[in-house]
Amino acid sequence: MKAKVIITPKPEVLDPQGKTVQTALEHMGCTGVGEVRVGKYIEIEMDGDADTVKAKLSEYADKFLANPNIEDYRLKLED
């Protein structure tokens, strides 16, 4: 199955990139823009049932895919 890992900076952590994109959007006259957070999106093909994949991916994300010091992540599974 295809697993999707969405990684974003922790809410507490400064995100200079998000802040700069937000300011740029405002300068371009784009309205209705609130806080911007720029993260990463990873797609991984995984074998196994949903629970196993979730458990494994959580481990991989904790250990490697995300930086636990500054990033949070969410998992999404697709059949």
Partner 1 sequence: MKFAVLQFPGSNCDQDCVHVLQNVLGHPTRLLWHKESVLGDVDAVLVPGGFSYGDYLRTGSIARFSPVMQAVKEFADQGGPVLGICNGFQILCEAGLLPGALIRNRSLQFRCEHVYLKVATQESPFTQAIPEGKLLRIPIAHGEGNYFCDAATLEELEARDQILFQYADRDGDVTDHANPNGSLKNIAGICNTARNVAGMMPHPERAAEEALSEDDGRLIFESLIAALNPASAPA
Partner 2 sequence: MSADPAITPELIAEHGLTPEEYERIQEIVGREPNFTELGIFSVMWSEHCSYKNTRALLKGFPVESPRVLVGAGEENAGILDIGDDLAISFKIESHNHPSAVEPFQGAATGVGGIIRDIFTMGARPVCAINSLRFGELDNSEVRRLFRGVVSGIAHYGNCFGIPTVAGEVYFDKSYEGNPLVNAFALGVLRHDQIARGAAKGVGNPVFYVGPATGRDGLAGAAFASQDLTEESAEQQRSAVQVGDPFMEKLCMEACLELLATGAVAGIQDMGAAGLTCSTCETAARGGTGIEIDLAMVPQRSPGMTPYEILLSESQERMLIIVTKGREEEVKRIFDKWDLPWAEIGFVTDTGQMVVKNHGVVVADLPASKLADDAPIYHREAKEPAYLSEVRSFTLAGVEDVEDPTEALEKLLEWPSIASKNWVYRQYDHMVRANTMVNPGSDAAVIRIKADSVPGGDDREDFPEKLVALAVDCNASHVYLDPYEGSKAAVAECARNLACSGATPIGTTDNLNFGNPHNPELFWQLKESVRGLAEGCTAFDAPVTGGNVSLYNQNPDGAIDPTPTVAMAGLVEEERHVTTQWFKEEGDAVILLGEPADTEDALQGLGGSAYLQVVHEAKTGQPPRCNLEIERTLGTTLLGLIQSDLVKSAHDCSEGGLAVALAECTFSDLEARNTPRFLGAEIDLSTVENVRLDALLFGEIHGRVVITTSELDAVKAVERAKLLGVPAQRIGTVGGKQLKLRTSTGEHHWEVVGLHDLWWNSIGNAMA
Residue 14: contacted member of partner 1, partner 2, none (CB under 5 to 8 Å, by partner type): partner 2
Q: Which of 61, 57, 59, 39 is nearest to 47 (CA)?
A: 57
Torsion sign (Cα): 63, 65, 71, 73: negative
The minimum distance between CB 13 and partner 2, in angstroms, equals 6
Of the pair 37, 56, the CB lying nearest partner 1 is at 37
Of the pair 26, 59, the CB lying nearest partner 2 is at 26
Residue 38: contacted member of partner 1, partner 2, none (CB under 5 to 8 Å, by partner type): partner 1
Structure tokens at 15: 């995100």
